[in-house]
Amino acid sequence: MRNIEYSLGDYVFLKVSPWKKILQFGRKGKLSLRFIGLYQILKRMGPVIYQLELPLELNRIHDVFHVFMLRWYWSNPFHIVSVEEIEVRQNLTFEEEPVQILNRDVKVLRRKFILLVKVLWLNHGTEKATWEPDDLFRQQYSQLFKSAKFQG
């Protein structure tokens, strides 16, 4: 395991986890890792613990984090996701919101057919669209099926 050290004044991203009402066949998939920030390191509290300067929107979240919750900041504006965009909860999770159904497909197994829908998620491009089970997704987000080009 490599040692990760930050210095006073360094800027880092803070890891948060997506919280979806349905799982993608039992795993989180492409959307599982997400970082918010930039936040400045205020103090090193221990060998692997750092205190961050958090904005007022995150005042309900404790400001001390393990090194594995942090990521170096490399100057690239596409990395930044603002707290306002995803409404981070106190337990550092957020809920992904589906925006549109892009496509449909049928997964053929030995004795079973599984209907799937390809979903575009808020704050993600089409390259991060995911395939979700049609029946579970239809129960949770029926409004998306009314607006879809293909009625089903």
- Give the per-residue pLDDT at 144: 82
Q: Percent of the chain beyond pLDDT 70?
A: 73
Q: When comparing pLDDT for 93 and 76, which is higher? A: 93
Q: What integer pLDDT is reported at residue 19 of this predicted model?
A: 58
Residue 3 CB partners (closer than 8 Å, separation 6+) = none
Q: What tokens appear for 121 in the block?
A: 């998620």
Please state, as a whole number, how many other Cβ atoms lie within 10 Å of the Cβ of residue 94: 21
Q: Stretch 132-152: mean pLDDT, rounded?
A: 77
Q: Which residue has the tokens 């936040």?
A: 39
| Cα(38)–Cα(11) distance, integer angstroms | 6
Q: In the chain, where does DSSP find H-type helix?
A: 83-86, 134-140, 142-147
Taking the whole predicted model, whether its pTM rises above 0.85 is answered as no
Contact 127, 136 (CB under 8 A): no
Q: Which fold has domain 98-147?
A: OB fold (Dihydrolipoamide Acetyltransferase, E2P) (2.40.50)
Using the predicted structure, report yes or no on whether residue 59 has a pLDDT greater than 50: yes
pLDDT at 32 over 70: no
**pLDDT number for residue 44:** 95
pLDDT higher than 50, residue 56? yes
Every domain of the chain and the residues it spans: 11-94, 98-147
pLDDT at 124 over 80: no
Rounded CA-CA distance 130/126 in Å is 9
Q: How are strands ordered across the β-sheet holding 98-108?
A: 98-108, 113-121, 130-133
